[in-house]
Amino acid sequence: MLNQIQTRGAENATQTGTRNKFLRHFKTLVFLIWPHKHIGLQLNILVCIAILATGRLLVLGVPRYVKLITDELVRTTNGTVDMSLEGAVILQSPDTWPWRLIAILMVLRFLQGGSGAVGSGLLEIGRTILWTKIEQYMTRTLKLRVLSHLHHLSLHWHLSRKTGEVLRIVDRVDWINQLTVQLVALIQLLIICIGLTVGSLYITWLIGMKYEMTIGDYILFGLYMTQLNAPLILFGRYYRLVRQALTDMENMLDLLDITPDVQDSPVATDICINNGMIEFDNICFRYKSERPILKNVTFNVLPGQTVAIVGPSGAGKSTIIRLLFRFYDVESGSIKIDGIDISTVTQRSLRLSIGVVPQDTVLFNKDILYNIRYGRVTATDREVENVAQTAEMHDRISTFPNGYKTLVGERGLKLSGGEIIERGSHDELLAINNGIYASMWKEQLNFYSEADMSTTSISTLPRIV
């Protein structure tokens, strides 16, 4: 008995947690997609809803006008047929010709579209135009929100994410989804055929035996079934799309619920680097439960000084750079810049003040000007040239036929390896003002260039050649 009570309590707790999670996700989604500050987009949404409601009324109204026209033609002929010509020609006069009904029907068809349920009439075209702006806003808002959240997640989350495992799971269940869709389509076909057969027999019986319906009612039934058939045919496809969209949405909202391991203090302030002195004071650090990577590490980097950290792989060189960026928090000790503990400042201001050249510098298949300006897209051409001169590459770039407009090629294949590394220097020198310069070069360190930068610099490399 006690076990049953405990089991029931656990089930109720699970249901309550699921319900609360759904409500929380629903509120988050509405907050993200609703254009709070855009009155025009809000009006667009209301107009689109009104258009959808009007379209559903037209779906009911258009077949009825076809019925009225048919009944009017049958009534006005009253069985009078002229057989003098080849075939039977119905005798009608302008007074009995239902031209008004036909005109109204054509107007409704113009508004509704061709197939009724999924037509592209005037209303559908107008709704699509209005909804395009709303869709663009929603897509942009969601993507920026998710991208911003990803940038705030800890480095440990990015390194431990098992993307390949998720893809394998998706591949294994894909054939099940395909089988389900085909079974649903078969069941739909059977239901439509049975319903159409039974309905047609019943209506023709009422027309021919009971005289309770007209020929127009039979046509009305056929048109309604046709309009009902169109969305049912697409039901299997939309079912799969909606199911996938709901799964993706749930994954996205679960992603937004993840809390970063490294968070700013409630009283954190923006850092302002004046001199650029770096102090590592008795630092101890390990990755989760792994062996200690850094133990009681202490060193200072004076303003304008260049420090090279040399050692084999796994010695903790990259870890020092990660701690400087505060991708991780130290277990003990402190890291200070100009006497300010980096744990007391905002991560955004800290990372904006530090430039880094990684081992593999990313280059876009654009011109040199674009690649250098990527460090700060608002930089002027003059600022780009200044940082190129600082990195001692301006003269080299000037010798190219197109200068700063020279294309670097895919992944910088048109540049030499040294020029690629220097381009990385351009990028980060442009990104920072009076901050700190960090680099992780594979082979060797250009001491002359770094000495001319007059910026506090930390470099990591396996050896000095």
Q: Which helix (H) or strand (E) covers residue 90, if one does? A: strand 89-90
Per-residue pLDDT, 231: 73
Check residue 463 and give its pLDDT: 55
For the chain, 465 residues long, the average pLDDT of each consecutive 10-residue run is 54 62 75 81 88 84 84 67 44 62 84 61 84 84 81 76 52 54 69 80 77 78 78 70 73 78 85 84 82 85 81 79 86 88 87 73 79 79 81 79 80 54 45 47 43 60 55
Q: How far apart are CA 454 and CA 434, in angstroms?
A: 9
Residue 162's CB is within 10 A of a number of other CB atoms, namely 8
**Do β-strands 340-341 and 332-337 pair in parallel, antiparallel, or remain unpaired?**
antiparallel
Task: Express the helix, strand and coil content of the chain in percent, nearest 5 each.
Answer: 60, 10, 30
Amino acid 8: pLDDT: 57
Predicted local distance difference test score (pLDDT) of residue 441: 43
User: Where are the domains positioned within the chain?
Assistant: 1-26, 34-152, 163-261, 354-431
The residues near 111 (Cβ < 8 Å, ≥ 6 apart) are 54, 58, 121, 122, 123
- What are residue 116's phi and psi, to 5 degrees? 85, -70
SS3 (DSSP) at 161: coil
Count of CB atoms within 10 A of residue 418's CB? 13
90, 81 Cβ separation under 8 angstroms: yes
Q: Measure the CA–CA gap between 28 and 142, rounded to whole angstroms.
A: 11
Q: What pairing do the DSSP bridges indicate for beta strands 354-357 and 436-440? A: parallel
CATH 3.30.470.20 assigned to domain 354-431? The reply is no
The pLDDT of residue 450: 47
The whole-angstrom distance between residue 215's C-alpha and the CA centroid of its chain comes to 53
In the DSSP assignment, the letter for residue 403 is G
CB-based contacts of 45, cutoff 8 Å, min separation 6: 35, 134
Category of 411 on φ-ψ map: left (φ > 0), alpha (ψ -120 to 50) or beta: left
| Alpha carbons 51 and 60: distance in angstroms, whole number | 15
> What's the pLDDT score for residue 268?
86
Q: In b/e form, how buried is each residue of 95-116, taking b as 16+ CB within 10 angstroms?
A: eeebeebeebbeebbebbbeeb
**pLDDT the model gives residue 170:** 44
Has this prediction a pTM greater than 0.85? no
At 295, phi and psi to the nearest 5? -135, 115
What pLDDT score does 117 carry? 44
The confidence score (pLDDT) of residue 431 equals 45
| Whether the Cβ atoms of residue 405 and residue 366 lie closer than 8 Å to each other | no
